[in-house]
Amino acid sequence: MNKELKAVVGAGVFFLLLIAGAVYVVMDLGDQLELVQGENAQLVAKIDGLKKEVAQRESLQLQLDKLEAGLAQYVRILPLPEVANEEWLMNLVQDKLEQAQFRLMRIEVTDPKGQAGPPPRGKGAGPAFREVVVRMTAQGTYDQFLRFLNLLEKHETFVRINKFACDAGQQILDDDGKVIVPLSITMDVSTYRYTGGGK
């Protein structure tokens, strides 16, 4: 083989090796690019997941803020925890009955389930609100009963009537000749004491 042919073959082999090296480098870079793209896709998915968590957390925080504002508003209309007990509620009912001239026959403390007697007491975790209930029986006229209800409704703190039963007596005539139907009302009246829960 002459010198020129050896030079051409040598140059050809050199270029083939150079091309093979370039192909290897390009293929290696392609593999690395795919690997980086896969990692980027995973990172983008994680970022999207974290963004959703942040959005959900903000939404939950907004809901929590609204609930706390509602709770504060509700607690504001309740009687003070220091006085919101059975004795206070009994005195309130008696006062409204006297103002309405509706005659009290009987009043007793009941538990929220309607059983007569004092509610159970004791330490331990409990609800944030404790219901205080009294049951009263009173007699009077329809107008007196309406006045009593109106006085309870206009009271500045929260009081509710859970249930009541009404029995009408025999019609009678008053001094002016007006027909009066005497009523006997049994009613459960309640309010709530804010305990803060577990206290």
pTM value is 0.56
Q: What is the pLDDT of residue 124?
A: 46
Q: How many helices (H) and strands (E) does the chain have?
A: 3, 6
Where are the domains positioned within the chain?
1-77, 86-194
CATH 3.30.70.60 fits 86-194, yes or no: yes
Position 113 scores a pLDDT of 65
pLDDT score at 137: 94
Predicted local confidence at residue 198, as pLDDT: 45
One digit per residue, pLDDT tens: the chain, 199 residues? 677 777 777 777 777 788 878 778 778 877 887 888 888 888 888 888 888 887 888 888 888 888 888 777 767 777 777 777 889 899 999 999 999 999 999 999 887 665 444 444 554 445 778 888 999 999 998 889 999 999 988 888 888 888 889 888 887 777 787 877 889 999 999 888 887 754 3
Contact assessment for residue 92 and residue 159, using Cβ atoms and an 8 Å cutoff: yes
pLDDT at 97: 93
Contact 137, 106 (CB under 8 A): yes
Sheet holding 183-194, edge to edge: 103-110, 129-140, 183-194, 160-168
